Structure 1
Amino acid sequence: MTKLKICGIRTLEEVAMLNDIKPSFAGFVFATSKRQITLEEAKVLRQHLDKEIQTVGVFVDAEIEFIATLVNEKIIDCIQLHGNEDDRYLSTLKAQVTAPILKAIRVSSIEDTAKKPDADMILYDTYHKKLKGGTGETFNWDLLKKKTGNYFLAGGLTSENIQEAIQQLRPYAVDISSGVEKDGYKDKTKLIELVKKIQEVNL
């Protein structure tokens, strides 16, 4: 049964939407992005978010101490890394936190899918020369067809293609941000439609 992560949460209105549809994960972006929020903003959002929804902090080459603070203050439950974090970085981070670590791999070839970072789980996203994530574009899912094990699937997912993605790959979770937005913010109608489509294919 594929789980749902809605990423880029930044307002209390969006939190209220998530409390209604109850995805498994909510993503807070701390990397430079139009969806970036501060520690203090994340703290307020976490306080209003349903406790059953796990929060995921999204980072790009962040200071480990900053990530540890967010984990220790129980603002985030999971860590998602989208930068050039190598195994040495991951080892240092693991020594300071117990939260599970999700490492993003941007896919442009079959070689990318063979990478095995020292993380608890992998997130496969679309490769872009300038962007670390949030491209709003899909990649060639055929590159993952022989992939086994649990992973998150991201990159250009919407209610129009979500059923095809789940049927083809059966990922542990799908990660969606711009695919459920209108004018740059989460849209409740799009969220409800997406959840409906996922429930149908998960039956």
Structure 2
Amino acid sequence: MQITIARAMTRKKTIKAQLDKITKDISQHGAINNKRLHILSDEKKDIKKNHQESIDKVKALFQQFYDLKDNYIKLTVAINKANLETDIVITGKTMKIAEALVYKNDIQAYFENLKFAYQKAVSKATAEVDQFNKNMKTEGLSEQVKKEVLADVLYLVPIEKMDELDAFLVEFMTEIDGTLNEVNARTFVEVDID
């Protein structure tokens, strides 16, 4: 069967909910006191028939669980395969969906931390420069001499690098969700599910 990645992802969410429900049902009905009738059975007079019907229903739940699990795996594999093969363009850069997802889910946080770390270093250096300059006696010095004796922040990371980082965080991360939604809605995967 052919379905879009978006539909496959929705189907996976549905399967997760179904697996949760089956698990809950098993926790409530998976075992009983053998001297009592089981609630799963419609048979209310013959305890042996009641128990057999309940056993059959619980077996069916287990089978359904494993069938759903198999479909979930097939959908996931099909999506992952498509993500490894499908190109997308974000901010003029062409990459595979899988690569874009790594940026979104993993690398973005590192870029944000890097930006924060650099801003922290600049703030610290600025405070040190301000303190240094505050302690300097510059009364009566010419502007040229003041320029030579007063401290200034030395930026060890080129400003262009930080501008690139900012551009990535703003442009790439803004575009990625919309671009992925578009691609997922029109990219088909082949999957053999029930």
TM range (shorter): under 0.3
**Which structure has greater strand proportion?**
1
**Structure number with larger C-alpha Rg:** 2
TM (norm. structure 2) is 0.24
Which structure would you say has the larger RCO, counting Cα contacts within 8 Å and 6 or more residues apart? Answer: 2
